[in-house]
């Protein structure tokens, strides 16, 4: 029977689960992630690079110490690949952390505004409660004699106003009836009725007298036959 072949390192004698190189990678990533979680979130890119390099150095040191347990040490390509993966992941986490900090800042500002608004509302509520208590005290106080007199005067004026309105309405009704009666009455010169014929007024035609007009002298008062200028001899 042929020995098993590892699909990780393509070597015979073991399977992928028992591959020493796969165990190295898992151990390296575990240590790197542990160190990364303990680092400061506000580190710069240079600090990030330095931290990842330190992690790689720590991994190499661990490999030298555990050479008998694991086997071959990491190759440069494996370290470079792991370093690039950790760097990309670290930058993603830094970007997410920066976004969360911005959201936190916005939430803090909104919280401050809400606190101020809450204080204003508390002040308004206190003022309203004070005014309400004052009005309750005014209502609970007994009515003074001057207030009683004033209320009586107001009631008397109301009654007078009602009486005046009634009198005014009666006056309006009477005036309307009087106008109707006057409108139905005849004039003293109006004698129309049964057996009455109105007097016919005859109009006399005036005789108009036409004044004579002289066509010779073009004057009024005489005719051409009697015109003295025509009859008189010429000098």
pLDDT digits (tens, 9 = 90+) for 74-114: 678 778 888 888 899 999 999 999 999 999 999 999 999 99
Tell me if 216 is assigned to some domain. Answer: no
Q: Which long-range contacts (CB under 8 A, 24 or more apart) does 198-204 make?
A: none
The alpha carbon dihedral of 126, 127, 130, 135 has a sign of negative
Place of tokens 């979680």: 37
Q: Does 156 reside within a domain?
A: yes
Neighbours of 27 (CB within 10 A): 15
- The per-residue pLDDT for range 55-76, each reduced to its tens digit, is 555 555 555 554 444 444 667 8
| Domain membership flag for residue 160 | yes
CA proximity to 211, closest of 202, 220, 198: 220
pTM for the model stands at: 0.30
Average of per-residue pLDDT values in the chain: 73
Q: Is residue 215 a part of any domain in this protein?
A: no
**Residue range(s) defining the domain that contains residue 166:** 144-184
Q: How many structural domains compose the chain?
A: 1
39 domain-assigned: no
Among the ranges 70-79, 82-91, 190-199, 221-230, which has the highest mean pLDDT value?
82-91
Judge whether 12 lies within some domain: no
Plot region of 164 (φ>0 → left; ψ -120 to 50 → alpha; else → beta): alpha
In-domain check, residue 235: no
Determine, yes or no, domain membership for 164. Answer: yes
């Amino acid at each position: 029977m042929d020995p098993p072949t590892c699909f990780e390192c393509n070597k015979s004698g073991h399977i992928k689960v028992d591959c020493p190189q796969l165990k190295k990678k898992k151990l390296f990533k575990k240590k790197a992630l542990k160190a990364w979680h303990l680092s400061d979130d506000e580190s710069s890119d240079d600090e990030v690079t330095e931290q990842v390099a330190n992690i790689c150095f720590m991994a190499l040191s661990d490999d030298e110490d555990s050479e008998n347990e694991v086997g071959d040490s990491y190759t440069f390509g494996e370290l470079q690949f792991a370093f690039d993966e950790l760097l990309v992941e670290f930058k993603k986490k830094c970007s997410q952390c920066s976004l969360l900090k911005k959201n936190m800042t916005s939430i803090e500002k909104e919280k401050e505004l809400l606190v101020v608004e809450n204080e204003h509302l508390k002040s308004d509520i206190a003022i309203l409660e004070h005014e309400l208590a004052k009005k309750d005290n005014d209502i609970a106080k007994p009515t003074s004699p001057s207030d009683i007199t004033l209320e009586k005067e107001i009631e008397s004026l109301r009654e007078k106003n009602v009486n005046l309105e009634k009198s005014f309405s009666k006056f309006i009704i009477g005036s309307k009836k009087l106008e109707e009666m006057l409108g139905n009455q005849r004039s003293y010169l109006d004698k129309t009725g049964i057996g009455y014929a109105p007097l016919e007024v005859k109009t006399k035609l005036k005789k108009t007298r036409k004044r004579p007009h002289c066509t010779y002298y073009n004057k009024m008062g005489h005719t051409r036959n009697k015109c003295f200028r025509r009859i008189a001899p010429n000098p």
